[in-house]
Structures are given as C-alpha cells and as structure tokens.
Amino acid sequence: MEMILSKNWNVPDQKKIDVAIKNGAYASLKKIFKMKREEVIEEVKNSGLRGRGGAGFATGLKWTFIPKENLSSGRQDKKPVYLINNLDESEPGTFKDRAIVEKDPHMMIEGMIIAAYAIGSHTAYIYIRGEYYKQWEIIEEALQEARKKGFLGKNILGSGFDLDIYQHRGAGAYICGEETALLSSLEGGRGYPRIKPPFPAIAGAWGCPTIVNNTETLANLPFILNEGAAAYKKFGTEKSPGTKLMSASGHINKPGVYEVEMGLPIRTFIEEHLGGVWKNHKLKAVVPGGSSFAPLTAEEAWATNLDFESCAAAGTSLGSGGFYVMDETTCMVRLLCFTSKFYAHESCGQCTPCREGTGWVDQVIKRIEKGHGRERDLQLLQDVCKNMMNGRTICVFADAAAMPVLGFLKKFGKEFEEHVKLGRCPHTVSLRGA
C-alpha cells in the first residue's frame, strides 16, 4: 500500500527542511496560493477527510463554520481567526502524533499553513503536551527553518499571505485534549471546558473565530492538495476515506505506530502487521480507539474493520487510534481499575456528575478488584455511569469515563461477578482482608 503520512519516516534527517523539501515538502503552497480560500476548503471537503483526534468529524465542513465574512478571499473583518493544532495527545494508548513530529515535522507545518490559508488565519498555535519536551524542541527547530526559507512570516512566497506559528506547552492535563478546555488553557486560564454553543468556530480563542484540528488531520492536507481529493479517496472506504495512524500496544509481538488503510480488518492488522498475539496466547479483547471506548471481545474484533462505521457498528469507536490488545491472561477487572483511577484523577471537577461520578466509579471498581465487592456493586456501577452520560455535563469527559465501564461490564460481566463471588481474582490468591 502507498503511504500518505509515513512514506518518508525512514529517510535519514527527514526532519531537516532541506531533506524534506527534496522529498516534496511545501510543494503544495505554490498551488494553494493560486486558489481562492473557498476552493481549498471545497477540495478538503471533497476528499472526505475526517478528524483524526477522536470524533471523526468532517474537516472541510468544520472549516465552513467560520463566519462567511472571514472566509471571503482577501477579507479579514473585525476579529482575527485562529488555527490551533491539537498536539496534546493525552488519550491513554495513543502516541501517533508524537511519531509525526519526530519523523516528519514539516509535513505537519505545511498542513497548518494550508489550513490557516483556507480559514483566513494569520496566527496559529501548536498546543503541545507538556511531557513532549523533546518533540517541542524538534518543532521549534522546524519552525525556525521554515521561517528562514520564507514559508512562514510576512508575504509567504510572495503570495501576500502572512502567518506566524507559535507553540504553547500544556501541563499534562487530559481534559485539555477537549478543544474548549484547550482554548481556556491557551488563554492562560484553568483548563475548564466551555458550554457550547457558541462553538469555537464562532467564539473560540479570546472570543474570536477558531478552528482546532488534530495533528494527524493537518498532516493529511499536503497530500490532498498536491494529489487532489479523488486521489485521496482511492484509499479507505466510502465514508472513511484515507489512511489512519494506529498506535499499537499491549500483548502483541510488534508494537509501534502503523499507517493502515481505512477498512483494514482487525484480524489482518493483528496477524500480518503486529506479528500476532504474543507468546502464542489467544486473543481476549481489543480496544481499537483508546481507553475512553468500549472493548471488543475476540469474536467481535475478528468481525470488525478499522474504520469509523465498522467500529461504531460493533459498539465502540476508532477514536484516535489507540489500539491495544489483551490476551487470555488479562484480568479485565484489574485493567478497568487502572482505567477508572486515571479518569477519576483527570476530571477537571467543574461538573458534579463527572467530579463525583468518576470518584465513585473508581472506589467501587477498586473495592471489587481488592476482593471486597458486593453483588449490588455491579448494578451500582451501571447506575452511576448512566447518570454521568448523555449531556449531563459540559463536555464529554464523563461519557469517556463511563463508556469503558459499561463496555467492560457488558462484555466481561461474568469476570466481575466471579471477583465478587470469590472475593479475589479467579487467577490469584485471595485478597480479602488486604
């Protein structure tokens, strides 16, 4: 399969601009500056590119939410427009955006220039995860190189278009992966999500029209503008075109970041790309999109493909591509215990159902895992989770915390029942009284 994002990842010094240019970097800029902004947006819409940060929303359509007076070519009315590259990447199990930065940062920067031109933005930010210090240094060097070559700054390539890109380091808060919490943090405040509407495209950073796109999403744009929407749609499925970077981890022989065509069967991905389940063990479960989504049983996984529609039909999500595999020895109660602890810690505390609910869920699952569970605890978990979800909070963090709990209980409920009945994990000595 031809690669879109990772084709130059093994080229020595690809992160250096001279090498990147030899391999086609920034070639799309001469083309887009001859196009109207509306034409660039239309090309991206026609490509069917969907957001790679988790939600899978149509990228070109999202851009059209910017007020029309700001999208009109040659106009910059009243308020400035901001573009934000969401490089927070805090979803457990996801590390593909980090790979883009380390392997080919200029592809991401070129994508940001394309997006900024399309929406009429002259100031863009990269909101980068605080722990990504090495990656921050790589980007800083790449931005300096791009400025020296005239790809950033005033009158880029004589086009009359100006753009500056700045980095903003987060402080490791999971919630700041949510776009409105990210904007609150970018402005210097606490990372609290905001009530929508208004949506960021209308009133985002500093009350101005703002588009927030994921790093992988932006990295797809150079190919689309160079080769055209039709060429991009040759990859993947009708509703999920293109390729997807998958962060593969867990009980597999070959963990890492893989670029796969949308629609690839999970069985093929595990057996042919990941070297199969390690130690010749049997597959027990797969989480295809990151820790905030429900798992798939082995039987479900073998019947599911890596695209948005297939994963949704199976009761989970492709999400951000945080693909992790569990073999037959995995204690699902213990795994969920780690997951619930993470979400209880990361809740921003702004909404009562989330602040209290995540804590309660963590306490109950911990009680079951330690061998002190009660029969009514399983129903209690379901009741608490259902009262956290479906619009009861400002953002979807509570849903993200509740969905894996409900999914684990639905798919592996007997394992939870055994923990309660035995007062321990079926595979370990008794923990009661610990």
pLDDT tens-digit map of 46-75: 999 999 988 889 999 999 999 977 655 445
Whole-model pTM: value is: 0.93
- Residue 69's pLDDT is 72
Please list, residue by residue across 179-209, b when 16 or more beta carbons sit within 10 angstroms of its beta carbon and e when fewer do: bbbbbbbbeeeebbbbeeeeebbebbbeebb
Helix axes 96-103, 105-119, angle to 10 degrees: 100
| Look-up of token digits 């849903």 | 399
- Residue 429's pLDDT is 45
> Domains along the chain?
17-232 (3.40.50.11540), 243-326 (3.10.20.600), 332-422 (1.20.1440.230)
Instruction: Evaluate the CA torsion angle 39, 259, 4, 160 in order and state its sign.
Output: positive
Q: Which amino acid is at 395?
A: C
- Residue 424's pLDDT is 86
- Residue 303's pLDDT is 96
- Residue 331's pLDDT is 93
Helix axes 133-148, 96-103, angle to 10 degrees: 40
Q: Which amino acid is at 376?
A: R
Length of the chain: 434
How does DSSP classify residue 175? G
Render pLDDT for 136-184 as a digit per residue (tens, 0 to 9): 999 999 999 999 999 999 999 999 999 999 999 999 899 999 999 999 9
Per DSSP bridges, beta strands 164-169 and 123-128 are parallel
CA separation (Å) from 263 to 158, 254, 266, 318?
A: 41, 21, 9, 11
pLDDT along the chain (434 residues), means of 10: 91 96 96 96 96 90 88 62 96 94 98 97 96 96 97 96 96 93 95 94 96 97 96 95 96 97 97 96 95 94 96 94 94 94 95 96 95 93 94 93 95 93 73 37
- Residue 152's pLDDT is 97
Residue 236 token pair:
């993947």
Share of the chain above pLDDT 70, in %: 96
How many angstroms separate the CA atoms of 82 and 208, rounded?
Answer: 7
Render pLDDT for 303-352 as a digit per residue (tens, 0 to 9): 999 999 999 999 999 999 999 999 999 999 999 999 999 999 999 999 99
- Residue 378's pLDDT is 95
Residue 185 token pair:
């943090």
3-state secondary structure of 169: strand
3-state secondary structure of 371: coil
